[in-house]
């Protein structure tokens, strides 16, 4: 198995009007092709910053990083698909056009692009909604469409930043099952940020735990449940034990 992402003592310092903010401090991390990694950590510890650096939206300020054989921060495009907490679909475009957006921002969509987009919509059960506008879909359906949009240009890395944080628990469980299936069917490498420890344990093959800001990696925990995950897993003692092990990192120590 080859390594897709390799971060070597990566730092990120934001220069602000009131001084420097150290968001990431010495992040060393390797992610294999096809792996599903979840990142958990307290609010403000630099998780979104880490994804933005991987997506080339932000530049790191120290250390080095490689994605798909190319240096981070260099001129790369199209190798990452990102899903945000809100679906961020454009209200005036229909769902198909929204899914095709990463393509049409660069060039005219071909018949193959449209077929690929429709195939993705079918995979998430939204075939009948291709010609609807975002407001005609539920929050969970919009988030499914956002996942299709992140996958339409065949990125090598799928980045998910709290994608289901705004959804109710049942929709969230259902989408977690879907994300697991999409990951298995598309063989993508995925990095998921979440505040939900059960969600991290349910979906990931490895859970990375970060410290409060400045974000450092304080644990890297393998999740040995195989690739296919079903909701039964949530009730098993093994699942509870791993979740508890991770939760202990966030316990406030009594004085």
Ligand X SMILES: Nc1ncnc2c1ncn2[C@@H]1O[C@H](COP(=O)(O)OP(=O)(O)OP(=O)(O)O)[C@@H](O)[C@H]1O
Judged by the rule CB under 5 A, the positions of this chain that interact with Mg ion are 48
Q: Tell me the CA distances in angstroms from 143 to 6, 67, 149, 176, 195, one per residue in order.
A: 29, 26, 10, 12, 17
Type and span of the H or E element at 201: helix 197-203
Q: Taking CB under 6 A as the criterion, which residues in 87-126 touch ligand X?
A: none
**Dihedral sign of CA atoms 97, 140, 122, 184 in order:** positive
Provide, rounded to whole angstroms, the least separation between the CB of residue 211 and ligand X. Answer: 11
| By the rule CB under 6 A, 16 interacts with ligand X | yes
State which residue, 58 or 113, has the beta carbon closest to Mg ion.
58
DSSP state of 48: H
Provide, rounded to whole angstroms, the least separation between the CB of residue 47 and Mg ion. Answer: 5
Q: Are 252 and 212 in contact (CB under 8 A)?
A: no
Provide, rounded to whole angstroms, the least separation between the CB of residue 46 and ligand X. Answer: 4
Site string for ligand X, 30-59 (x = CB under 6 A): -----------x-xxxxxxx----------
Binding partner selected for residue 45 from ligand X, Mg ion, none, CB under the kind-specific 5 to 8 Å limit:
ligand X
Q: Are 163 and 183 in contact (CB under 8 A)?
A: no
Provide, rounded to whole angstroms, the least separation between the CB of residue 165 and ligand X. Answer: 9
State which residue, 113 or 161, has the beta carbon closest to Mg ion.
161
| By the rule CB under 6 A, 21 interacts with ligand X | yes
Binding partner selected for residue 44 from ligand X, Mg ion, none, CB under the kind-specific 5 to 8 Å limit:
ligand X
| By the rule CB under 6 A, 194 interacts with ligand X | no
Site string for ligand X, 212-231 (x = CB under 6 A): -x------------------
Q: Tell me the CA distances in angstroms from 44 to 183, 211, 215, one per residue in order.
A: 28, 10, 8
Binding partner selected for residue 14 from ligand X, Mg ion, none, CB under the kind-specific 5 to 8 Å limit:
ligand X
- The total of other beta-carbon atoms located within 10 Å of residue 32's CB is 14
Provide, rounded to whole angstroms, the least separation between the CB of residue 182 and ligand X. Answer: 23
CA-CA distance, 135 to 197, in Å (whole number)? Answer: 30
Interface residue with ligand X among 3, 13, 14, 32 (CB under 6 A) is 14
Check whether the bond before 214 is cis (ω within 30° of 0). yes
CA-CA distance, 159 to 35, in Å (whole number)? Answer: 12
- The total of other beta-carbon atoms located within 10 Å of residue 79's CB is 17
Binding residues (CB under 6 A) for ligand X: these are: 14, 16, 21, 23, 41, 43-49, 213
């Amino acid at each position: 198995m080859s390594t897709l992402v390799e971060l070597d003592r990566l730092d990120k310092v934001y220069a602000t009007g009131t001084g420097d903010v150290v968001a990431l401090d010495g992040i060393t991390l390797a992610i294999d092709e096809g792996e599903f990694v979840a990142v958990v950590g307290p609010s403000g510890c630099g998780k979104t910053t880490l994804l933005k650096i991987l997506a080339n939206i932000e530049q790191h300020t120290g250390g080095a990083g490689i994605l798909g054989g190319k240096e981070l921060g260099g001129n790369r495009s199209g190798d990452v698909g990102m899903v945000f907490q809100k679906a961020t679909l454009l209200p005036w475009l229909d769902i198909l056009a929204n899914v095709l957006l990463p393509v049409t921002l660069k060039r005219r969509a071909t018949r193959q692009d449209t077929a690929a987009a429709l195939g993705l919509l079918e995979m998430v059960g939204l075939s009948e909604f291709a010609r609807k506008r975002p407001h005609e879909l539920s929050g969970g359906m919009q988030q499914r469409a956002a996942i299709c949009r992140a996958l339409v240009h065949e990125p090598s890395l799928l980045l998910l930043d709290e994608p289901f944080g705004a959804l109710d628990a049942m929709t969230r469980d259902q989408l977690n099952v879907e994300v697991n299936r999409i990951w298995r069917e598309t063989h993508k490498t995925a990095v998921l940020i979440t505040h939900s420890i059960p969600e991290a344990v349910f979906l990931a093959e490895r859970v990375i735990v970060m410290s409060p800001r400045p974000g450092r990696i304080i644990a890297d925990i393998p999740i040995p449940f195989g690739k296919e995950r079903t909701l039964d897993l949530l009730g098993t003692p093994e699942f509870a034990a791993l979740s508890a092990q991770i939760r202990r990192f966030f316990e406030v120590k009594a004085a």
